[in-house]
């Protein structure tokens, strides 16, 4: 007869002592994910601290003129409006990454609340929340984003909100499944037997167990959000000029694809490798945080 | 509490917990999707009994017979399908959420599995401290002092306050579980097979600890076990469960010396006797325990009972007082002093006389 209650294996037991350093250590087994992690650290440092060092204003016209080649003053040259491309890459990257991070955080919030409540409370709450989730998944994401941005406008906040609203469902499903699993453990029932409120049980007993899965989902969500932001910018519905993003820089470069290909290659390559790196990191973390892969 | 009132709890017979017609049915997915036949498991099926203040009531039965489900539903950790549970004369199944949470200070549970019943991300201090936090009973240094007292009370070193459960052995974890359950000085504790998952060498240590704490703290305890030998020394009374029902209930000595239900008698015949000179005849029950999703008609035990007759297939035996304070659910209970072997042979004789 199968026991109705799952039992904690020794492997999961090994987890609490496993701090951040050992996650990195586990990540080291996956070379691609490990390289991706340090690459992303570098990119974030460059994009967030770079403008402090490289003080050229990304929106200011430069004396070198338009579409100038590379030089010491302008390592990546200038664009069609005589602006410094290096400064624009740094500032644009900052906006793109902030949009990705903020949309991810907002998606995580919605997805975690929806998934955890549906899994924990069950019954009506579960049916309503999971039906909404399924309905949202059924709507073509890109169509939803285009309509929402057309209606709501394209301020950075709206872009973040709309990308987040389009991207929380997968997280909700992951958190929902995990909540269903963890709420069957006896230590959760023991908390109930002790008189803990549902809110306390969810936040202190269940969600902390799901954090690894949430981190993995969050990493993959950043990648998707950056890609989405670039795609809508490319269609001219993203964050508007003169604010630079990698997406609108790419869009802007189209006309100069033969005369100044570097204008398109730079943001295009940046988007591609950052998105890939986040995906590799997410996959690597999935293995590193999975207790089955933790070496005893 | 004065010692006299504890030493003879059943004589004064003041119930702390009363269970009336308690049922817990689980729907299970059975049959095809289109036939839509919804099956149910009657894990606890119309159970009525009382637990007296200050006693230890042992509850035994084979795995899957519904002991844990009964314990959980008495504490309202699951919502019973039907019935009533009285704690101090109040039907707690009618309590609202916040009333129930407040009452939980007074009733606790100790689990079988010392691995899954402790939060792997909490230290010992946090696990026990939660009890004080939830009910707002102690804070800061006072809380820490109380937690350390509890750790010491269950025989662990208070210096391990900051250790995680996985840093302890199975027996030590079970002590942590006991400390957690007893931290708020509850009146009633359900101990659900607290030693079954432990090494034989530590089982008796944990049993002795429970007996000691039960006396010191004046607890009332429902002690669940799957073997009769475990409950003998710890229980004042013993209840025997079979397929969701209590089939026999009496004082421990009555159960062990003069069982009335054929199932209890058969179980006892397999318990090794402390004195090897007292040879007894083992009666091996035929067949498997039937599935609780599809129990036999009439008496649930009839498919394995050596005394079963046609009547047993038709009529369900109610739990009746067959002797003084000795309850059994059987149409043909054993007489006082009668062994199951004797009952079987007298049944065969009477059948022969019928055929002649
Ligand atoms: N949550 C549940 N859902 C469905 N069936 C259950 C559930 N819990 C227990 N059962 C079933 O109820 C019966 C009694 O289980 P349980 O109370 O755990 O027995 P015991 O503790 O005596 O071993 C078993 O057949 C079991 O499969
Ligand atoms: S009622 Fe019949 S089948 Fe059931 S235990 Fe008694 S004799 Fe056996
Ligand atoms: Mg059980």
User: Predicted confidence band at A163 (pLDDT cuts at 50, 70, 90)?
Assistant: very high
The ligand whose atoms approach the alpha carbon of A4 most closely is 1
Contacts of A13 in chain B (CB under 8 A): 115, 120, 165-166
Of the candidate ranges B28-32, B177-181, B211-215, B317-321, the one whose mean pLDDT is the lowest:
B28-32
Of A159 and A256, which is predicted with more confidence? A159
Contacts of B72 in chain A (CB under 8 A): 189
- What pLDDT is recorded for position B285? 79
- What pLDDT is recorded for position B281? 67
- What pLDDT is recorded for position A110? 97
CATH number, residue A181? 1.10.3720.10
Residue A64 belongs to some domain of the structure = yes
A220-230 mean pLDDT: 93
Distance from B252 to chain A by nearest Cα, in Å? 29
pLDDT over 70 (residue A172): yes
CA–CA dist B154, B175 (Å, integer): 6
CA–CA dist B68, A193 (Å, integer): 14
A33, two tokens: 């994910």
B206-233 mean pLDDT: 94
Residue A116 belongs to some domain of the structure = yes
Of the candidate ranges A2-6, B65-69, B162-166, the one whose mean pLDDT is the lowest:
A2-6
Residues ≥6 apart with Cβ < 8 Å to A145: A162, A163, A166, A228, A232, A237
Q: Whose CA is nearest to atom 6 of ligand 2?
A: B330
Partner residue opposite A187 with nearest CB, options B101, B108, B117: B117
How, if at all, do strands B90-91 and B82-87 pair? antiparallel
- Which atom of ligand 1 lies at the shortest distance from residue B61's CA? 22
The ipTM assigned to this model is 0.87
- What pLDDT is recorded for position B217? 94
- What pLDDT is recorded for position A4? 45
- C-beta of residue B322 within 8 angstroms of C-beta of residue B291: no
- What pLDDT is recorded for position A15? 42
Burial of B85 (0-12, 13-18, 19+ CB in 10 A): buried
Distance from B210 to chain A by nearest Cα, in Å? 18
- What pLDDT is recorded for position B273? 64
- Tell me what the pLDDT averaged over chain A comes to: 86
Residue A152 belongs to some domain of the structure = yes
Distance from A37 to chain B by nearest Cα, in Å? 26
Q: Are A196 and B64 within 8 A, CB to CB? A: no
pLDDT over 60 (residue B173): yes
For chain B, the straight-line distance linking the first and the last C-alpha, in angstroms and rounded, comes to 63
pLDDT over 70 (residue B11): no
- What pLDDT is recorded for position B117? 93
Q: Are B180 and A189 within 8 A, CB to CB? A: no
Residue A124 belongs to some domain of the structure = yes
The predicted-structure confidence for A253-292, as pLDDT tens digits, reads as follows 888 888 888 888 999 999 999 999 999 999 898 888 765 4
Nearest chain B alpha carbon to A14: B166
Beta-carbon count within 10 A of A116 CB: 24
Cα(B77) to centroid(ligand 1), Å: 14
Residue A4 belongs to some domain of the structure = no
- Number of structural domains in chain A: 1
Partner residue opposite A13 with nearest CB, options B102, B103, B120: B120
Distance from B127 to chain A by nearest Cα, in Å? 9
Burial of A246 (0-12, 13-18, 19+ CB in 10 A): buried
pLDDT over 60 (residue A135): yes
CA–CA dist B208, B290 (Å, integer): 35
> Residue A256: which domain range?
16-288
Nearest chain B alpha carbon to A195: B101
Of the candidate ranges A127-136, A196-205, B280-289, the one whose mean pLDDT is the lowest:
B280-289
Residue B317 beta carbon below 6 angstroms from any ligand 2 atom: yes
Of A70 and B21, which is predicted with more confidence? B21
The ligand whose atoms approach the alpha carbon of B259 most closely is 2
Q: Whose CA is nearest to atom 5 of ligand 2?
A: B330
User: Predicted confidence band at B353 (pLDDT cuts at 50, 70, 90)?
Assistant: low
For chain A, the straight-line distance linking the first and the last C-alpha, in angstroms and rounded, comes to 30
Partner residue opposite A6 with nearest CB, options B105, B116, B177: B116
3-state secondary structure chain B: CCHHHHHCHHHHCCEEEEEEEEEEEEEEECCCCCCCCEEEEEEEEEEEEEEECCCEEEEECCCCCCHHHHHHHHCCCCCCCEEEEEECCEEHHHCCHHHHHHHCCCEEEECCCCCCCCCCCCCHHHHHHHHHHHCCCCCHHHHHHHHHHHHHHCCCCHHHCCCCHHHCCHHHHHHHHHHHHHCCCCCEEEEECCCCCCCHHHHHHHHHHHHHHHHHHCCEEEEEECCHHHHCCCCCEEEEEECCEEEEEEEHHHHHHCCCCHHHHHHHHCCCCCCCCCCCCCCCCCCCCCCCCCCCCCCCCCCCCCCCCHHHHHCCCCCEEEECCEEECCCCCCCCCCCHHHHHHHHHHHHHHHHC
3-state secondary structure chain A: CCCCCCCCCHHHHCCCCCCHHHHHHHHHCCHHHHHHHHHHHHHHHHHHHHHHHCCCCCCCCCCCCCCCCCCCCCCCCECCCCCEHHHHHHHHHHHHHHHHHHHHHHHHHHHHHHHHHHHHHCHHHHHHHHHHHHHHHHCCHHHHHHHHHHHHCCCHHHHHHHHHHHCCHHHHHHHHHHHHHHCCCHHHHHHHHCCCCHHHHHHHHHHHHHHHHHHHHHHHHHHHHHHHHHHHHHCCCCCCCCCCCHHHHHHHHHHHCCCCCHHHHHHHHHHHHHHHHHHHHHHHHHHHHCHHHCCC
Strand partners, B222: B57, B190
A95-115 mean pLDDT: 96
Query: ∠ CA B28-B31-B33 to the nearest 5 degrees?
Result: 95
| Residue B183: φ, ψ to 5° | -60, -35
In chain A, what percentage of residues exceed pLDDT 70?
Answer: 90
- C-beta of residue B227 within 8 angstroms of C-beta of residue B271: yes
Cα(B26) to centroid(ligand 1), Å: 8
- What pLDDT is recorded for position A74? 81
* Ligand 1, CB within 6 Å, residue ranges: A 1, 4; B 26, 28, 41, 43, 61, 63-69, 292
Beta-carbon count within 10 A of B341 CB: 14
Residue A8 belongs to some domain of the structure = no
Strand partners, A2: none
Of A89 and A2, which is predicted with more confidence? A89
Of B36 and B340, which is predicted with more confidence? B340
Distance from A295 to chain B by nearest Cα, in Å? 15
Cα(B246) to centroid(ligand 2), Å: 13
CA–CA dist B154, B172 (Å, integer): 9
CA–CA dist A123, A125 (Å, integer): 6
Of B349 and B331, which is predicted with more confidence? B331
Cα(A108) to centroid(ligand 3), Å: 38
- What pLDDT is recorded for position A73? 80
- C-beta of residue A270 within 8 angstroms of C-beta of residue A197: no
Partner residue opposite B109 with nearest CB, options A13, A17, A190: A190
Residues ≥6 apart with Cβ < 8 Å to A263: A79, A80, A85, A249, A252, A253, A256
CA–CA dist B356, B350 (Å, integer): 10
pLDDT over 50 (residue A5): no
CA–CA dist B57, B236 (Å, integer): 6
Residue A9 belongs to some domain of the structure = no
How, if at all, do strands B107-110 and B188-192 pair? parallel
Of the candidate ranges A69-83, A270-284, B88-102, the one whose mean pLDDT is the lowest:
A69-83
Alpha-carbon A33 to chain mean position: 16
How, if at all, do strands B82-87 and B15-29 pair? antiparallel
Of the candidate ranges A64-78, A164-178, B211-225, B270-284, the one whose mean pLDDT is the lowest:
B270-284
pLDDT over 80 (residue B13): no
pLDDT over 50 (residue A8): no
CA–CA dist A149, A151 (Å, integer): 5
- What pLDDT is recorded for position A269? 94
Q: Which residues of B touch A (CB under 8 A)?
A: 63-64, 72, 75, 77, 100-105, 108-109, 111, 113, 115-121, 130-131, 134-135, 164-167, 177, 180
- What pLDDT is recorded for position B354? 57
Partner residue opposite A194 with nearest CB, options B131, B165, B166: B131
CA–CA dist B222, B188 (Å, integer): 8
The predicted-structure confidence for B222-278, as pLDDT tens digits, reads as follows 999 988 988 998 999 999 999 999 999 999 999 999 999 999 999 998 776 666 565
A94, two tokens: 């900052």
- C-beta of residue B59 within 8 angstroms of C-beta of residue B49: no
* List of domains in chain B: 10-257 (3.40.50.300), 258-356 (no CATH)
Residue A2 belongs to some domain of the structure = no
Cα(B39) to centroid(ligand 2), Å: 26
């Amino acid at each position: 007869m199968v026991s109705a209650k799952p039992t904690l294996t020794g492997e999961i037991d090994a987890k609490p002592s496993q701090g951040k350093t050992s996650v990195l250590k586990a990540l080291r087994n996956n070379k691609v994910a490990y390289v991706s992690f340090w690459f992303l650290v570098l990119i974030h440092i460059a994009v967030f601290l770079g403008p402090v060092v490289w003080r050229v204003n990304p929106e200011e016209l430069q004396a070198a003129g338009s579409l100038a080649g590379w030089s010491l003053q302008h390592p990546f040259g200038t664009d069609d409006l005589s602006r410094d491309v290096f400064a624009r890459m740094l500032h644009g990257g900052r906006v793109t990454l902030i949009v990705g991070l903020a949309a991810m955080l907002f998606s995580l919030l919605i997805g975690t609340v929806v998934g955890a409540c549906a899994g924990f409370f069950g019954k009506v709450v579960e049916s309503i929340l999971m039906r909404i989730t399924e309905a949202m998944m059924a709507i073509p994401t890109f169509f939803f984003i285009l309509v929402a941005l057309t209606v709501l406008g394209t301020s950075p906040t709206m872009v973040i909100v709309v990308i987040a609203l389009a991207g929380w469902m997968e997280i909700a499903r992951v958190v929902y499944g995990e909540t269903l699993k963890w709420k069957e453990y006896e230590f959760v029932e023991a908390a109930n037997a002790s008189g803990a409120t549902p809110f306390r049980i969810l936040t202190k007993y269940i969600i902390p167990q799901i954090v690894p899965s949430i981190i993995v989902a969050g990493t993959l969500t950043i990648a998707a959000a950056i890609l989405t932001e670039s795609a809508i910018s490319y269609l001219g519905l993203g964050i508007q000029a003169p604010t630079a993003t990698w997406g609108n820089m790419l869009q802007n470069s189209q006309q100069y694809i033969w005369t100044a290909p570097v204008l398109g290659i730079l943001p295009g390559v940046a988007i591609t490798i950052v998105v890939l790196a986040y995906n590799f990191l997410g996959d690597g973390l999935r293995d590193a945080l999975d207790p089955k892969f933790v070496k005893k | 509490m004065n010692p006299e009132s504890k030493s003879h709890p059943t004589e004064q017979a003041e119930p702390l917990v009363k269970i009336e017609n308690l049922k817990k049915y689980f729907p299970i997915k059975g049959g095809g999707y289109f036939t839509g036949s919804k099956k149910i498991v009657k894990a606890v099926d119309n159970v009525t009994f009382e637990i007296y203040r200050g006693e230890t009531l042992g509850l035994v039965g084979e795995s899957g017979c519904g002991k844990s489900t009964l314990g959980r539903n008495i504490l309202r950790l699951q919502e019973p399908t039907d019935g009533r549970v009285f704690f101090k004369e109040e039907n707690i199944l009618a309590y609202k959420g916040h009333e129930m949470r407040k009452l939980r200070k007074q009733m606790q549970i100790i689990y079988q599995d010392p691995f899954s019943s402790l939060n792997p991300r909490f230290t010992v201090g946090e696990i026990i401290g939660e009890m004080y936090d939830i009910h707002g009973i102690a804070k800061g240094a006072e809380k820490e002092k109380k937690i350390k007292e509890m750790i010491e009370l269950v025989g662990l070193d208070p210096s391990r306050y900051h250790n995680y459960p996985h840093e302890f052995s199975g027996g030590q974890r079970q002590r942590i579980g006991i400390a957690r359950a007893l931290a708020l000085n509850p009146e009633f504790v359900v101990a659900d097979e607290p030693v079954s998952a432990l090494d034989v060498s530590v089982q008796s240590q944990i049993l002795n600890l429970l007996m000691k704490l039960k006396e010191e703290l004046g607890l009332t305890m429902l002690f669940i076990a799957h073997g009769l030998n475990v409950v003998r020394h710890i229980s004042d009374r013993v209840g025997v469960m079979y397929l969701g029902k209590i089939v026999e209930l009496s004082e421990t000595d009555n159960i062990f010396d003069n069982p009335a239900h054929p199932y209890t008698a058969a179980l006892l015949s397999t318990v090794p006797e402390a004195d090897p000179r007292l040879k007894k005849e083992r009666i091996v029950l035929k067949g498997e325990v039937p599935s609780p999703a599809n129990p036999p008609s009439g008496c649930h035990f009839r498919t394995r009972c050596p005394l079963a007759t046609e009547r047993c297939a038709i009529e369900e035996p109610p739990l009746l007082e067959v002797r003084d304070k000795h309850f059994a659910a059987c149409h043909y209970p054993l007489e006082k002093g009668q062994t199951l072997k004797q009952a079987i042979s007298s049944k065969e004789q009477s059948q022969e006389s019928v055929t002649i």
